[in-house]
Amino acid sequence: MEAISKQMYERPCIYVTTVSTLLCLVTIPVCLAIFTSTPLMHGQQLAMAIDMIAVALVCVLVPVIVGILLQHYCKKIADVLGKLASYLGGLLLISSIIVATVIYRAVFRGPTGVLVIAAVFPPFSLLFGYAWAIAFKEDPAVAKTVAVQTGNRNVSLCLSVLKLAFHDNLADQILTFPIEYWLIQNAFTLLVALLYHTWKTYRYPAGNNSESLRILGEKVSQQEEEEESDGA
């Protein structure tokens, strides 16, 4: 049953990650091209950091592909690596918040309006992703996965592209919002995860979630039967 519940969460995670990564190949150059036509550029030439974009996309796609293969052929190894990655990811998330807050503390002295927008976007993005998943009649467990996948931005890729694409004097102005968004997004995501884990622990004590797992198992079996019938 535990393997079935994991499958329910992993499928949308893989789909959303793959599709969003492929969309970056088109949307990032298009967005940068649109930005060059704005008066803010003042005739400056934009340096398209295609090589860095490609490297960043490869760094995202390769782990996803490896994870899919391990999950399909070496499930035990995939489970161990998944648990290790979850603990390591949590540690890195907390460390990044602390380090970035110390290094980029000056960005919080910028315009208040920018800071407010950066604070509103993370919860709005999570709610937007969850609402769309529910609107398409997805299971609540799948909807939570879709919300996390769509609500968290790849800010590290954004910072790399902006820093390399624009001159230093213009890049410093542009980087204020992504840095604020990145810090608030990490802190908000960590807070939501802790609150959800606490609620789940008290709401569903160990040993009392067999019914939920049974329902998830039935839904996975139904999806597999539909896929097999479509393939036939």
Residue 2's pLDDT is what? 45
What pLDDT, on the 0 to 100 scale, is given for residue 224?
60
pLDDT along the chain (232 residues), means of 10: 47 66 71 64 56 69 77 80 78 75 70 82 86 85 79 72 67 75 83 83 63 57 61 54
Confidence (pLDDT) at 5 = 45
Q: Read out DSSP for the chain? A: -HHHHHHHHHHHHHHHHHHHHHHHHHHHHHHHHHHHTSGGGTTPPP---HHHHHHHHHHHHHHHHHHHHHHHH-HHHHHHHHHHHHHHHHHHHHHHHHHHHHHTGGGGGS-HHHHHHHHHHHHHHHHHHHHHHHHTT--HHHHHHHHHHHHS--HHHHHHHHHHHS-HHHHHHHTHHHHHHHHHHHHHHHHHHHHHHHHHHHHS-TTS-HHHHHHHHHHHHHHHHHHHHHH-
